[in-house]
Amino acid sequence: MSITDAVKRVLVGRRLSSAQLGETLLPKRIALPIFASDALSSVAYAPDEILITLSLAGMAGFGFSLPIGLAVAAVLLVVVASYRQTVHAYPSGGGDYEVVTTNLGPTGGLVVASALLVDYVLTVAVSVSSGVQNAKAMLPFISGHEGEVAAVVIVLIMAVNLRGVRDSGGIFAVPTYLFMAGVAVMVIWGLVQIFVLGHPLTASTAGYTVVGTQQYEPLVGLGMVALLARTFSSGCAALTGVEAISNGVPNFRKPKSKNAATTLLLLGTIAVSMLLGILVLARLAGVKMIDVSAGSYFMSSTGQRITGEPTTVMGQLARAVFYPGFPLGFYFLITMTMVILFLAANTAFNGFPTLGSILSRDGWLPRQLHTRGDRLAYSNGILTLATGAVVLVLVFDASVTMLIQMYVVGVFISFTLSQIGMLRHWTRKLKTQTDPATRRQMKHSRVINSIGMVMTGVVLIIVVVSKFIHGAWLALLAMVVIFWLMRQIHRHYEQVRQEVGTIGPSDRALPSRVRAVVMVSALNKPTVKAIQFAKATQPSELEAVTVAVDPDETAEVVRAWQADDLSVPLKVIDSPFRQVTQPFLDYVRELISENPRDIVCVYIPEYVVGHWWEQLLHNQTALLISTRLHFMKGVMVTSVPYQLKSSRELADRYRQRTLAGRR
Amino acid sequence: MSITDAVKRVLVGRRLSSAQLGETLLPKRIALPIFASDALSSVAYAPDEILITLSLAGMAGFGFSLPIGLAVAAVLLVVVASYRQTVHAYPSGGGDYEVVTTNLGPTGGLVVASALLVDYVLTVAVSVSSGVQNAKAMLPFISGHEGEVAAVVIVLIMAVNLRGVRDSGGIFAVPTYLFMAGVAVMVIWGLVQIFVLGHPLTASTAGYTVVGTQQYEPLVGLGMVALLARTFSSGCAALTGVEAISNGVPNFRKPKSKNAATTLLLLGTIAVSMLLGILVLARLAGVKMIDVSAGSYFMSSTGQRITGEPTTVMGQLARAVFYPGFPLGFYFLITMTMVILFLAANTAFNGFPTLGSILSRDGWLPRQLHTRGDRLAYSNGILTLATGAVVLVLVFDASVTMLIQMYVVGVFISFTLSQIGMLRHWTRKLKTQTDPATRRQMKHSRVINSIGMVMTGVVLIIVVVSKFIHGAWLALLAMVVIFWLMRQIHRHYEQVRQEVGTIGPSDRALPSRVRAVVMVSALNKPTVKAIQFAKATQPSELEAVTVAVDPDETAEVVRAWQADDLSVPLKVIDSPFRQVTQPFLDYVRELISENPRDIVCVYIPEYVVGHWWEQLLHNQTALLISTRLHFMKGVMVTSVPYQLKSSRELADRYRQRTLAGRR
């Protein structure tokens, strides 16, 4: 067992087989942190974005932070209530994609899938960027390199996932609880200082005045509506990740649905408390933010313009609360904030390939992504996700404020469609349900989902309208492109399925004879092996064929052939243009046309090597010929591998990996 | 026949088969332009480089242009005399690589080959750059975009060659003769104007004074020696391409060697006349050049510094001679200069893959480059060459002055080694030769080659010493890397050859039984075809195998299998980790270990598609499995292709290409 394997086993535990999966049903206390890191981590940036957007209206704007916070909290609770209905209706784990596909048909499902795929990329970009921004409170030297640092973090998370961390529940629980505890201690201790000890908190930006932009200062009329709408949209980032539990119902202990619904309620309550707690404390401590790119700025009490950006709300609050008495509290909370944000990014690295696998099963993505366990399939998804996120953090320099303009759209598309789907679900169920109690229950659920639908639909419209020109258009464009691509892939598979589906009598016709042709370029061990293997299949006819490219070489082969006693005739094909491929293909084509009911089996000796550069030095002509032979009907191509010494090491490595996987 | 084919046929004529090659022996009047474009085109930049380097010594420097020109001419004539011996000794076409390999062994040959490969890249870069620089006399707007324009020209030449211009002799003759005639007319008409009509020529730079650099002005002592050595080295660029005829002896009409030797003498005489004619006329017309990057500059008669670069010597002379009376002459000559320079680059596009093919035959380069006619093999060489040249012109901004520092080294390495080889050749021949007349002849040749060897050896030392820090080091480094690479490739092939060479009795053991396994993922036409083909080979045992990844899909396959009557048992392999690859490989490995004397033949149904993106949607798991199966002894992998409709178009295109090639 290698060191990596050992570390992995300690961190992750044994790999779970399908059968074993049943053993690991989760109690609520473990399920909560597993499914909550994404949703809870967003309280690390949602307050920032609310204050940053409000800063455009100058000092007057910050007065709206609590009302906006309450609006976001209201939406969050409605969404939680709606998804509690979903977990009851789909105890098998009804993700939004499943719910929508089942109730609104495949096109709706595909829209949700496109939105979710884009959102996974943004989750990684936003979470890691926010983690890096928060880290600046502790490690100020990061300033100016945010994009690069975020990219490195994403690559590290990717590397961990490529190594194959399949089930990372255990390590999630601890930091999630520590983060929750840290925020709770900070908020409570801050409030105690202010209201019990009478010791007012002062954030580092408390003494500054914020000057907004001409567009929004003073804050009146349409401008006000627009700005508050944008602020609310950014704040709704706090809702991302709420739907995660609905995917995970089967992993809960019995009664699954009930436990999942309880956990969901718990999650909602905690998220709302944290969000509002942070916003209240920020207001009390005088925390202010500015939007550097949009042009709001700080002014000192003496009327001088302050350059430079403030740290995050979490950073300012933690410093105000824990300094100077307990600096360790500050470091602890910032570290936990970073960790939970990176864990949130990590969940996307699990979710993206899983969704890819489901989409692949339904024929929307290349088939080979379906087989979950295969390293290769997951690797593709992980690489795609990481590449997208790295590009985003580099282009937008890890600015959460810019990235968040694209975020949330996808989440609310999927929320809204999911609620519409649930409505259909209950309406359909009600048609066949006769038991009055159950009917009452269903009608109740339908009302809740209707409220959810209206609420999320309205938020979706607000988000799209208020953010469209600020970046949402890019996210929507990406979704449309992905949607179109998946449609094309599906159409292709559908066409192929129809083409190959109906097996007719002509397909069952047994070929009359097998004519074997062994491709020869020299008389050596691989050739002899190919000949012997071909002989073993006892074909109706067997001949060796060589193409006369170089007269000397050909003479040498013929001489060696005659000297040996392989009892197989060697045919020399003339090659007037000094090619190999074409004359050989022509020869095979003639063989087929001589007797179309025969099949021709071409045996190609192949060198198996251990390094990619050795591969470049061998088999290239064989590869070309084999590719072209595939276009001829009635031909099979058999490669007879000859393992060179250099291949042994690689074969051993493959075998070891297999054994390691089995333990 | 497509339009491209038609154009090609008009331009290039039919493709020649090995047998047909005899029909196209060249008369001297066609052979000269075919082999001369490279050598003659260098008179378009050699005079420039002589004057540019001398400009570092200010006005005093230009006095040395004619002596340097005479020295270059002397070397050129000696080299021509030496190669006249080579064409007699190697009527089969003794390129430098062949001569050196035969007489000095493979390591020497490999040194020459490395030098030539690098030089081909530089030929393209230098010729195209000079063409672009000359074009500026006519198209001044190119200024500032030389690198990009040169890159585009190289890509165009590459594209033409990729389309498959294999024999471009015919189109070479006309512009080469026109270029020669143009230069002759210009020189003669210029001299007539000066000496007969008494009408002095004034180049555009005649009125300027050139200010050199501190290092070389005044021109005395070691500095003088160093500068003259560098000037001479740059002037020796005029010699590149002289050896081309020695490669082409077999293409001459009989008596081949005599005709080739005569053509070589003709080439030498013409090149020397053109070089000296241009240098004399430049001196008379007061043409001056400056080295912008090294710091020499023009000063007007009023003592003001002139900014901007002058046009090429050819451009200045053509303008002085033909303006104002006959501007068409100017345009004609500049155009022909451009064309012949681009043709010179084009010869490298023929030479590079040809040398690659020879090196491949001798096992120094990947084997698949050997088969001359195959499009793919040549394409790789053409792409490599073009990429190298494009990088060079972009990095050095198509500056001939900078590129030429790297040039010439390779040429003289190959000249010198070739002469040493010829010396050995004659010495060896003299050992067995008894006829006094022949012996005298041979001794005579040996003296000429000795002179050639000493002369080229001295020039090589001068070139390396005077240019090393200016860029020759880069060319030498490239040669060393290529040399090392080719050695590694050769070592690999040698190892493999030994590994597979000796066929022992165990290699001849006939496997006892063939167990056939058909890989199944669904019951459809491709699967049925694979089953029927496998049945046709009458294996000892035959079974279909499917891996149970998805319970629903597996149940569906089993159900369909039972409903059908394929009379082949279907085995379902359990896959606890939801993988396909590993359980299947494990199963095959077990089959082999059960009875190692059997062979297992795995039949994989494969979809044949028409587009690369369709390829991504199919066969990926099959490809992975097939690759891994190759590492197991006793396994053959048979792919049974199933041609989807979309593949037909591509198959048709392949067939048409074949038919077009045959005409």
Q: Determine, for residues A639 and B624 on separate chains, whether the beta-carbon distance falls below 8 Å.
A: no
pLDDT reported for residue A10: 37
Q: What's the CATH number where B654 sits?
A: 3.40.50.620
Quote the tokens at residue A209: 């005045």
Q: Determine, for residues A533 and B524 on separate chains, whether the beta-carbon distance falls below 8 Å.
A: no
Across the range B607-617, mean pLDDT stands at 82
* % residues pLDDT > 70 (chain B): 92
Quote the tokens at residue A58: 């100058």
The interface predicted TM-score of the complex, written ipTM, equals 0.74
* % residues pLDDT > 70 (chain A): 92
For residue range A102-145, what is the model confidence (pLDDT) as tens digits?
999 999 999 999 999 999 999 999 999 999 999 988 888 888 88
Residue B503 domain-assigned (yes or no): no
Across the range A419-441, mean pLDDT stands at 92
pLDDT reported for residue B15: 46
In sequence order, what E strands does A167-235 have? Answer: 209-211
Closest chain B C-alpha to A172 CA, distance in angstroms: 23
Q: Determine, for residues A658 and B631 on separate chains, whether the beta-carbon distance falls below 8 Å.
A: no
3-state SS, one letter per residue, for B490-527: HHHHHHHHHHHHCCCHHHHCCCCCEEEEEECCCCCHHH
Task: Report how many domains make up chain A.
Answer: 2
| CA geometry: angle A202, A206, A207, nearest 5 deg | 115
pLDDT reported for residue A18: 45
Closest chain A C-alpha to B175 CA, distance in angstroms: 29
Q: Which residues of B touch A621 (CB under 8 A)?
A: 367-368, 371, 374
For residues A536 and A459, state if they share a domain. Answer: no
Q: Name which residue leads in pLDDT, B368 or B19.
A: B368
pLDDT for residue A358 is more than 90 = no
pLDDT for residue B240 is more than 90 = no
pLDDT reported for residue A280: 95
Tell me how far apart the alpha carbons of residues A364 and A97 are, in angstroms, rounded to a whole number.
12
Nearest Cα to Cα of residue A80 among A419, A488, A424: A419
Residue B357 domain-assigned (yes or no): yes
pLDDT for residue B661 is more than 80 = no
For residues B111 and B176, state if they share a domain. Answer: yes
In this complex, which of B368, B511, B635 lies closest to A641 when CB atoms are compared?
Answer: B635
* % residues pLDDT > 90 (chain B): 43
DSSP string, A55-82: GGGTHHHHTTHHHHHHHHHHHHHHHHHH
Residue A497 domain-assigned (yes or no): no
For residues B485 and B545, state if they share a domain. Answer: no
In this complex, which of A361, A376, A508 lies closest to B528 when CB atoms are compared?
Answer: A508
Q: How far lies B420's CA from each of A533, B116, B237, B458, in Å?
A: 52, 17, 21, 13
pLDDT for residue B4 is more than 60 = no
Q: How far lies A637's CA from each of A409, A600, B198, B518, B655, in Å?
A: 51, 8, 81, 14, 19
Residue A15 domain-assigned (yes or no): no
Let me know if B567 is exposed, middle or buried by CB neighbors in 10 A (0-12, 13-18, 19+): exposed
pLDDT for residue B7 is more than 80 = no
pLDDT for residue A19 is more than 60 = no
pLDDT reported for residue B625: 87
Closest chain A C-alpha to B12 CA, distance in angstroms: 16
Residue A501 domain-assigned (yes or no): no
pLDDT reported for residue B219: 67
pLDDT reported for residue B254: 82
pLDDT reported for residue A659: 57
Residue A198, sorted as left (phi over 0), alpha (psi -120 to 50) or beta, turns out to be left
pLDDT reported for residue A336: 94
pLDDT for residue A2 is more than 50 = no
Residue A645 domain-assigned (yes or no): yes
pLDDT for residue B660 is more than 80 = no
Q: Determine, for residues A630 and B645 on separate chains, whether the beta-carbon distance falls below 8 Å.
A: no
Tell me how far apart the alpha carbons of residues A1 and B239 are, in angstroms, rounded to a whole number.
64
For residues A161 and A261, state if they share a domain. Answer: yes
Q: Determine, for residues A368 and B621 on separate chains, whether the beta-carbon distance falls below 8 Å.
A: yes
For residue range B444-473, what is the model confidence (pLDDT) as tens digits?
999 999 999 999 999 999 999 888 888 889
For residues B480 and B560, state if they share a domain. Answer: no
State which of A212-221, A647-656, B15-24, B518-527 shows the largest mean pLDDT.
Answer: B518-527
> Beta strands A599-608 and B599-608: pairing type?
unpaired
pLDDT reported for residue A91: 82
Question: How many Cα atoms within 13 Å fall on the side-chain side of residue B3?
Answer: 0
Structural domain including A589 reads: 511-662
For residues B74 and B181, state if they share a domain. Answer: yes
For residues B118 and B249, state if they share a domain. Answer: yes
For residues B470 and B550, state if they share a domain. Answer: no
For residues B91 and B123, state if they share a domain. Answer: yes
Which chain B residue has its CA at the smallest distance from A574's CA? B18
pLDDT reported for residue A5: 41
Alpha carbon distance, N-terminus to C-terminus of chain B: 10
Q: Residue B191: what residue type?
A: L
Q: Determine, for residues A581 and B374 on separate chains, whether the beta-carbon distance falls below 8 Å.
A: yes
Closest chain B C-alpha to A46 CA, distance in angstroms: 39
Q: Determine, for residues A371 and B617 on separate chains, whether the beta-carbon distance falls below 8 Å.
A: no
Which chain B residue has its CA at the smallest distance from A581's CA? B374
For residue range B92-127, what is the model confidence (pLDDT) as tens digits?
766 888 889 999 999 999 999 999 999 999 999 999
For residue range A369-403, what is the model confidence (pLDDT) as tens digits?
766 545 555 777 888 899 999 999 999 989 998 89
Q: Which residues of B touch A640 (CB under 8 A)?
A: 636
Q: Determine, for residues A509 and B493 on separate chains, whether the beta-carbon distance falls below 8 Å.
A: no
For residue range A300-314, what is the model confidence (pLDDT) as tens digits?
888 888 887 888 999
Quote the tokens at residue A264: 């969901």
pLDDT for residue B154 is more than 90 = yes
Closest chain A C-alpha to B374 CA, distance in angstroms: 5
pLDDT tier at A619, thresholds 50, 70, 90: confident
pLDDT reported for residue A26: 78
For residues A606 and A457, state if they share a domain. Answer: no
**Residues B311 and B338 sit within 8 Å (Cβ to Cβ):** no
pLDDT reported for residue A295: 83
Closest chain A C-alpha to B539 CA, distance in angstroms: 7
In this complex, which of A533, A550, A585 lies closest to B599 when CB atoms are compared?
Answer: A533
pLDDT reported for residue A148: 92
Q: Which residues of B touch A586 (CB under 8 A)?
A: 658
- Which residue of A360, A514, A529, A600 is the best one to mutate when testing the B interface, meaning the one whose CB has the most B CBs within 10 A? A529
pLDDT reported for residue B443: 92
Q: Which residues of B touch A616 (CB under 8 A)?
A: 366
For residue range B494-550, what is the model confidence (pLDDT) as tens digits?
888 888 888 888 888 888 888 999 999 888 889 999 998 998 888 889 999 999 887
For residues A194 and A105, state if they share a domain. Answer: yes
Residue A20 domain-assigned (yes or no): no
What stretches of A286-399 show up as alpha helix (H) in DSSP?
313-322, 327-361, 375-395
For residues A463 and A610, state if they share a domain. Answer: no
Q: Which residues of A touch B15 (CB under 8 A)?
A: 577
Q: CB B104: neighbour CB atoms within 10 A? A: 19
- Which residue of B496, B567, B618 is the best one to mutate when testing the A interface, meaning the one whose CB has the most A CBs within 10 A? B496
Residue A505 domain-assigned (yes or no): no
- Which residue of A370, A485, A486, A507 is the best one to mutate when testing the B interface, meaning the one whose CB has the most B CBs within 10 A? A507
Across the range A427-436, mean pLDDT stands at 91
What stretches of B502-640 show up as alpha helix (H) in DSSP?
525-536, 551-563, 581-594, 612-617, 620-629
Q: Determine, for residues B578 and A638 on separate chains, whether the beta-carbon distance falls below 8 Å.
A: no
pLDDT for residue A184 is more than 50 = yes
Q: What's the CATH number where A78 sits?
A: 1.20.1740.10
Q: CB A66: neighbour CB atoms within 10 A? A: 15
pLDDT tier at B58, thresholds 50, 70, 90: confident
**Residues A238 and A268 sit within 8 Å (Cβ to Cβ):** no
Q: Which residues of A touch B373 (CB under 8 A)?
A: 575, 577-579, 582
| Mean predicted lDDT score pLDDT of chain A | 86
Answer whether 0.80 is exceeded by the pTM.
Answer: no
> Beta strands B305-306 and B570-574: pairing type?
unpaired
pLDDT reported for residue A16: 44
Strands of the sheet with B305-306, listed across from one edge: B209-211, B297-299, B305-306
For residue range A197-244, what is the model confidence (pLDDT) as tens digits?
988 899 989 889 898 887 777 767 788 888 999 999 999 998 888 888
Q: Where a domain ends, among B461, B493, B525? A: B493
